[in-house]
Structure 1
C-alpha cells in the first residue's frame, strides 16, 4: 500500500473551512444572525431622515354666562357650561376628530399631498389637564411644521362647520315653534281689532278719562250748588231790603230807560202837583181843577198804556214813585239785584246741564265698564302671547351666541415647532439596538449549544442533595 501526497490549494482550504463551519452549526447560526443584524442596522441608517413637529392645544375649563334684560318682557339668560362635567371628555372627541379621515383629507389637500403621503398624526392626552399634544412627521422640518399647521387649521374649520350646522338645525327647530307662537300672537291681535271695531271703547284709557270726567262733573255740581245757595240768599236779602223782587227791579230799569215813559211820568208828576195846588185853592168843582184832573188822568192812562206795552199790565203804578235817575245808589242796588239774580239763574241752568251730562255719562260708563273688562281680557291674552313670542325669539338670538356648548373652543397653547435635527434615523439608538440583539442572540445560541449540560446540572443537583 503506497502513500500519496496531497497538494493544498486556496480553494481546498476554503472548502475545508466551510466543512469545519458546517460541522459547528451553532457558530454558523451565530455568524448569520450577526450578519442579519448588521444588515438591518445598515438599512435603518440608510433611511431618509424624518423630522418632527408638535404643538399643544387647550380647551378652556370654565363656562361663560350672560344675562339680557328686555323691557316689559323679562330676562334672557345664556350660559355655556364647562365642557368637562357632562359625563364625557371632549378631549377624546377631539382626538378622534383629529385622526378622522375627513379632517386628514382636508389637511392633505391644503398641502397638495395624498392622504397616504400626509400620514396620521400622533395625539396624546395629558392626564388631569385639558391639553392635547399633536405630533406630525415629515421628510423636512418645514414639511413637518406645515403638516401641523394644516391639521390645526383643518380642525378649526371642521369645528366651525359643525357649530354652524348645529346652529342651523337648532334655528330651524326653534323657528318652527316661533311660527306657532306668531300665529297665536296674530290671532289675539285680530281679536282685539275686531272687538274695537264693534264696540264703543278702543282702549282702557277711555274708561279712565270718562271716569275722571264724571268725577270732575260731580265736583263742579257740588261747587255750583253751593254757589247757587249763596246767590239765592244774597238775592233774597237784597230783595227784602229794597222791597222789590228781581223781576220788578228789571222792569223798573226797562221803564226808566224808556224816554216816552219818563215823559209821561214827568207829565203825571207835574199834573199831580198842579192838581194838588188847584184843589187847595178852589176845590174840586172849579173848572181849572177839573181840567187839571182830566190832564192828570190822561197822563196816568198814557203811563199805564206805555208800561203795559213795555213790561206788561199792572206795572206802572209800582214805579210811579221810583225815580232811579235821581237816586244813583238805589239804581246801583237794583243793578246788583238784577245781576245777582241773573248769575243765580245761569248757575241753575249750568247745574241742570251738568246733571244731564252726569246721567248720560253714568250710562256711558256702565257700557264702557263691561266693554273694558272684555278688552282687558283680550289684551292680557295678547300680552301673554307677545311675551311668549318675544321670549322665544330672544332665546333664539341668545342661543346663536352659545356656539361652544357642544364643541368647546380650542386655543393654541404652543404653536407647531420647527425641528433643528432629524428624529430618525438615530445612529446611537441603532448601534445600541444592534449590540443588544447580538448579545441576546449569542446568549440564546450558547444556551441551545449547552442545553445538555444545563439540563444535567439541573436534574442531577436535586439527586445529589437527596
Structure 2
C-alpha cells in the first residue's frame, strides 16, 4: 500500500498489525459482558447474603392469642313500690346507644401506655420490651381478639395473662370510680331531700300544735257525726208529727177543741191541781152523802159546805194559775170529769185522757230531744266551718310532707339500685378463650418483607445490568 505522507509503498504485514475500529469495539464488548455479569453476580450475592443473614439471626418470637366477649349494655328499668308513698324507679340507659362501641374504648385502653406500663412492671420489663398487643374487633359480633408476642412460648402466654388481668383490674377500678361518682351525686341529692323532708315535717307539726284540726280524718269524723245528728233529728221530727196527729185525734174523740185539749192536758199535768181536784171530789161526795141523811140547816152539812167552798176556791185559783186565765168550775168539770155531750163513760174518758197525757209527755220529751239536737247541729256546723278553713292549709302541709317523703325514698331506693348496676359505661367482659401457649414460632412480617425486598432488588439489579450491557454493546445507537 502507498503511504501518502512519505510517498513510499508500505509493507503488507504492517497493514495487518494496525487494529481497526471494528476490532476494538468487539474487544470492549467482550470485556464489558464479563464485567457486568461479574458485577451482577457480586451484587446479588451481597444482597441475598445480607437478607439471609438478617432472617437467620433475627430473634424468633411466639404469639399468644386470646379472646373476650363484650356484650352491649341495654337500657334497664327497676321499679320499687313504696307502701303509702308511691313508686320509685331507676333508669339505666346504655352509654353507647346507637353511635359507638365499647370495644373501641377497650381497644384504646389495652393499648394505652399507662396500662401497658403497669403490665410491664409486673413482668419486670420496660415498656419497649413488653411491646404493644394487637387488637382485632370482629364485625357483627361482640368479640375482641388479642395477640401479644414473646421470645418464648411461656413468656408470650405470661404476658398475655398479665395483660388480661391488668385490663380486668383497670375496668373494675373504672367501674368503681363511676359508681362512686354516681353515689356522690345521689348522696348530695339525698342530703338535700332529707333537709326538705325535715323542714316539711316540722312545719306540719308546728301547724298541728296551734290549730284545732289535727288531721283530715278528724274533719271527716265530725262531718259524719253531723250527718248522724241530722238523720236523728229528722227521725224525731217525724215522731213529733205522729204524736201531734195522735193528740189531735184524741182531742176529737174527747169532743174537745184544740185549746180545750191543751187546757185539759195542762190541768192533768199539774200535781197540785190534781190534788185540789181529788179533795174537791172527795168533799163533794161527802157533802152529797150528808145531805141525804141530814137537813140542809144541819151544822154538819153547813160545815161540809164551807169546806167544799174553800176547796173549790183553791181549785179555781190553781186552775187560773195553770192556764193563765180565769176558768169556771163547769169548764173544769167538762175538761177533767165529764164528757160534755158525749155518751162515753167516765172510765173510757179517763182512759182517753190518760193516753192524751202520755202522748203529751212523749211529745214534750221528743220536742226537748229535737231542741238539743238542734243545738248540737248548730255547734258542729260552726266547728266544721272553722275546721274547713284550716283543712286547706293542713292538706297543703301534708302534701308537702308526702312529696318530700316520696322524693327522699325514691332517691334512696335509686341509690340502692344503682349500686347493683356497675356496667353502664364499662360493660362486663367474659373470657371466651384464655391465652394459649403457642407451639410454633411466629413468622415475622419483617422476614417476609426482607425476602420480598431482596427479590425486588435482584430484579432491579438484573434490569440495570442488562440495560448497561446493551448500551455498551451498541454505543452508536
Describe the shift of the 1:413–1:459 C-alpha distance in structure 2 as closer, same or farther (beyond 3 A): farther
Which of 352, 360, 366 is the matching residue for 1:341?
Answer: 360
Which of 232, 249, 253 is the matching residue for 2:268?
Answer: 249
Q: Distance in 2 between matches of 1:154 and 1:411?
A: 15
Q: Distance in 2 between matches of 1:85 and 1:416?
A: 32
Q: Which residue of 1 aligns with 2:375?
A: 356
Give the 3-state SS of the residue equivalent to 2:135 in structure 1: strand
What does 1:139-178 align with in structure 2 at a 5 Å threshold? 139-178=151-190
1:179 paired with 2:206, answer no
Describe the shift of the 1:441–1:105 C-alpha distance in structure 2 as closer, same or farther (beyond 3 A): closer
Contact 1:239 1:246 in 2 (8 A): no
Q: Which residue of 2 aligns with 1:40?
A: 54
Q: Which residue of 1 aligns with 2:21?
A: none
Contact 1:78 1:402 in 2 (8 A): no
Give the 3-state SS of the residue equivalent to 2:426 in structure 1: coil
Contact 1:249 1:337 in 2 (8 A): no
Q: What is the CA-CA distance between 1:165 and the residue it aligns to?
A: 0.9
Describe the shift of the 1:187–1:423 C-alpha distance in structure 2 as closer, same or farther (beyond 3 A): same
Q: Which residue of 2 aligns with 1:91?
A: 103
Describe the shift of the 1:362–1:457 C-alpha distance in structure 2 as closer, same or farther (beyond 3 A): farther
Contact 1:78 1:399 in 2 (8 A): no
Aligned residues: CA RMSD? 4.5
1:123 paired with 2:123, answer no
Describe the shift of the 1:371–1:425 C-alpha distance in structure 2 as closer, same or farther (beyond 3 A): closer
What does 1:53-452 align with in structure 2 at a 5 Å threshold? 53-61=64-72, 63-68=74-79, 70=81, 72-74=85-87, 76=89, 78-81=91-94, 83=96, 85-86=98-99, 88-108=100-120, 115=127, 118-239=130-251, 241-242=253-254, 245-251=264-270, 269-279=285-295, 284-285=296-297, 287=298, 290-295=299-304, 297-298=306-307, 333-419=352-438, 421-424=439-442, 443=459, 445-452=461-468
**What TM-score, normalized by structure 1, do the two folds share?**
0.72
1:52 paired with 2:58, answer no
Superposed CA deviations along residues 413-450 of structure 1, whole A, max 9, x for unmatched, are 3333333x222479xx97x9898777656555545544
Give the 3-state SS of the residue equivalent to 1:210 in structure 2: helix
Describe the shift of the 1:263–1:249 C-alpha distance in structure 2 as closer, same or farther (beyond 3 A): closer
Q: Which residue of 1 aligns with 2:14?
A: none
Pick which of 433-442 and 90-99 moved more: 433-442
Q: What is the CA-CA distance between 1:174 and the residue it aligns to?
A: 3.5
Q: What is the CA-CA distance between 1:76 and the residue it aligns to?
A: 2.5
Q: Distance in 2 between matches of 1:444 and 1:32?
A: 14
Q: Distance in 2 between matches of 1:436 and 1:251?
A: 145
Q: Which runs of 5+ in 1 are unaligned?
A: 1-19
Count, aligned residues: 421
Q: What is the CA-CA distance between 1:145 and the residue it aligns to?
A: 3.2
Q: What is the CA-CA distance between 1:408 and the residue it aligns to?
A: 2.8
Q: Distance in 2 between matches of 1:334 and 1:111?
A: 124
Give the 3-state SS of the residue equivalent to 2:71 in structure 1: coil
Q: What is the CA-CA distance between 1:207 and the residue it aligns to?
A: 2.8
Q: Which residue of 1 aligns with 2:342?
A: none
Q: Distance in 2 between matches of 1:24 and 1:337?
A: 162
Superposed CA deviations along residues 371-422 of structure 1, whole A, max 9, x for unmatched, are 1122233344444444444454455445445532322332333333333x22
Contact 1:185 1:386 in 2 (8 A): yes
Give the 3-state SS of the residue equivalent to 2:114 in structure 1: helix
Describe the shift of the 1:192–1:234 C-alpha distance in structure 2 as closer, same or farther (beyond 3 A): same
Give the 3-state SS of the residue equivalent to 2:357 in structure 1: helix
Q: Which residue of 1 aligns with 2:11?
A: none
Q: Distance in 2 between matches of 1:263 and 1:31?
A: 172
Describe the shift of the 1:249–1:193 C-alpha distance in structure 2 as closer, same or farther (beyond 3 A): same
Q: Distance in 2 between matches of 1:397 and 1:134?
A: 36
Pick which of 290-299 and 150-159 moved more: 290-299
Q: Distance in 2 between matches of 1:459 and 1:124?
A: 59
Superposed CA deviations along residues 115-169 of structure 1, whole A, max 9, x for unmatched, are 5654432212234543221112345544433433332232222112112112212
